[in-house]
DNA sequence: TAAAAAAGTGCAACGACACAACTTTTCTAG
DNA sequence: CTAGAAAAGTTGTGTCGTTGCACTTTTTTA
């Protein structure tokens, strides 16, 4: 990696770090892009050369969730259904927030800020097509099969559904209970 | 109704009309709030006294969809399950767009504009709590029961899910097929 | 009927973001 | 090793959505 790309990555990182620090400190709406630019010692417009929007500053680290999602379906243990594998994956995601306090702070920030909640949801839902594709492939259904797409959509929705609910674990389980039975019938029809 | 309220309603209507006309004519992003204000001969600030945001100008007519939704569940014919009743309701909504050309233009506008799509979705999803409540009441489940809430959320999601899909009717049906079986099991457990 | 409460309206301004012109830095071809 | 292409960064300027403050008008109450 050349010096150029290293410097670019460095400014990008500096911006994301400064943004997160300021957001956690003062709250998202109380920090302007100018503040962030100044904290990272660059001009305001430079921020938008690195990030498409103010919200994108928060969701910098792309912890390739899509790959994990796909792996959860494809590499599930023998005898486990697709909905069950997805349910376990979602519950695991929830559990991650419980031990890492930094991640918990991050989640609390994104949940309490409407703009960030929406943005995060959009990012998360982008994986619908990819998830639907693995499900279809796994079930031997044609690409773009509505039942597979619906399962993908609903499964992804569960994390948004669980938020703000008193018992989020139970909410996820109830949601997947709803999906599991219908899926077993649909899957039987396919193969 | 006093003279004051009449004038207020008049300006509000003038704004909504001007906005819709301009949006359909030039496209949402090509029309500024200042344009709309000028077309209705008021100042820019006045627009926001009547509507909370630019998007709200489009969704002016509140065709109380929530009541229809609740009625679809509560007044469903004997022997029809809740998911089936909701599926029929959603399919009926889709059919509405096919005969009224004005509504079709409106839908096309909201679907092709990202900001409007998001806003419309948020408005639509607001009914989740109310829908979950009737479902719970109907099933004899406690208020806030996760399974009922999940069914409400997923049922509302189906309209967003069907959009942009080649065969939207089939998409809705596939989605409800997924829900119906799981629901019959859950409902059995309750009563 | 006078005063106070409430509602309507507008000006100026802020914050996010786009765009263009220009400078500086890094990479690459000869 | 150097000239110049290419990319990164800066500055300035402007647009658009949205809001706070001040002002005016209408309605209500004493």
CA A86 to centroid of chain Cα atoms: 14
On the question of pLDDT at A138 being above 90, the answer is yes
Is the CB of residue B52 inside 7 Å of nucleic acid strand D? yes
Instruction: Specify the length of chain A in residues.
Output: 191
Provide φ and ψ at A53, rounded to 5°: -160, 170
| Cα nearest neighbour of B168 on chain A | A146
Q: Do A149 and B171 touch (CB under 8 A)?
A: yes
Are residues B178 and A151, on separate chains, in Cβ contact within 8 Å? yes
Task: Work out the average pLDDT over A89-94.
Answer: 94
- Which band of pLDDT confidence, cut at 50, 70 and 90, is reported for residue A10? confident
pLDDT-derived band at B6 (thresholds 50, 70, 90) equals confident
Q: Is the pLDDT of residue B124 over 90?
A: yes
DSSP B184: H
At A1 the pLDDT is 58
User: What's the whole-number average pLDDT of chain B?
Assistant: 93
Residue B5, pLDDT score: 77
Is the confidence at residue A2, as pLDDT, over 70? no
pTM over 0.95: no
Query: pLDDT of A117-136, one tens digit each?
Result: 999 999 999 999 999 999 99
pLDDT number for residue B1: 62
The residue among B88 and A6 whose pLDDT is bigger is B88
Is the CB of residue B159 less than 8 Å from the CB of residue B124?
yes
Residue A13: how many other CB atoms lie within 10 Å = 14
d(CA A77, CA A58): 34
Asked whether the predicted pLDDT for residue B108 surpasses 90, the reply is yes
Q: How far is CA A129 from the centre of its chain?
A: 14
Give the mean model confidence (pLDDT) for residues B171-178. Answer: 96
Q: Could you give the 3-state DSSP secondary structure of residue B127?
A: coil
B46 touches strand C (CB under 7 A): yes
Taking the CA of residue A6 and the C1' sugar atom of nucleotide C26, their distance in angstroms comes to: 11
| Chain A residues lying within 8 Å of B186, measured CB to CB | 174, 177-178
Compute the distance between CA of residue A135 and CA of residue A152 in angstroms, rounded to an integer.
Answer: 8
Q: How confident is the model at residue A3 (pLDDT cuts 50, 70, 90)?
A: low
What percentage of residues in chain A have a pLDDT greater than 70?
98
Q: Which residue has the higher pLDDT, A37 or A190?
A: A37
User: Which parts of chain B fold into alpha helices (H)?
Assistant: 3-26, 33-39, 44-50, 65-74, 82-99, 101-112, 114-125, 128-139, 146-162, 168-190
Q: Copy the structure tokens of residue A158.
A: 């569960």
* pLDDT confidence of residue B8: 86
Look at B5 and B148; give whichever has higher pLDDT. Answer: B148
pLDDT value for B136: 96
Average pLDDT for residues A165-173, to the nearest whole number? 95
The answer to whether residues B103 and B96 touch, using CB atoms and an 8 Å cutoff, is yes
Arithmetic mean of pLDDT, A130-157: 96
């Amino acid at each position: 990696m050349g010096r150029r790309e290293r410097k670019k990555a460095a400014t990008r990182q500096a911006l994301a770090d400064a943004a997160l620090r300021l957001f956690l400190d003062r709250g998202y709406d109380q920090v302007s892009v100018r503040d962030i630019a100044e904290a990272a010692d660059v001009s305001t417009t430079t921020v938008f050369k690195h990030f498409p929007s103010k919200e994108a500053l928060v969701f910098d680290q792309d912890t390739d969730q899509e790959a994990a999602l796909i792996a959860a379906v494809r590499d599930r243990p023998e005898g486990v259904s697709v909905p069950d594998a997805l349910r376990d994956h979602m519950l695991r995601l929830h559990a991650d927030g419980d031990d890492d306090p930094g991640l918990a702070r991050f989640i609390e920030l994104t949940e309490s800020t409407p703009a960030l909640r929406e943005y995060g949801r959009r990012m998360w839902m982008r994986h619908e097509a990819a998830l639907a594709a693995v499900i279809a492939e796994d079930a031997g259904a044609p690409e773009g099969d509505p039942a597979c797409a619906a399962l993908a959509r609903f499964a992804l929705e569960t994390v948004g559904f669980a938020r703000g609910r008193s018992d989020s674990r139970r909410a996820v389980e109830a949601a997947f209970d709803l999906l599991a039975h219908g899926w077993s019938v649909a899957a039987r029809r396919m193969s």
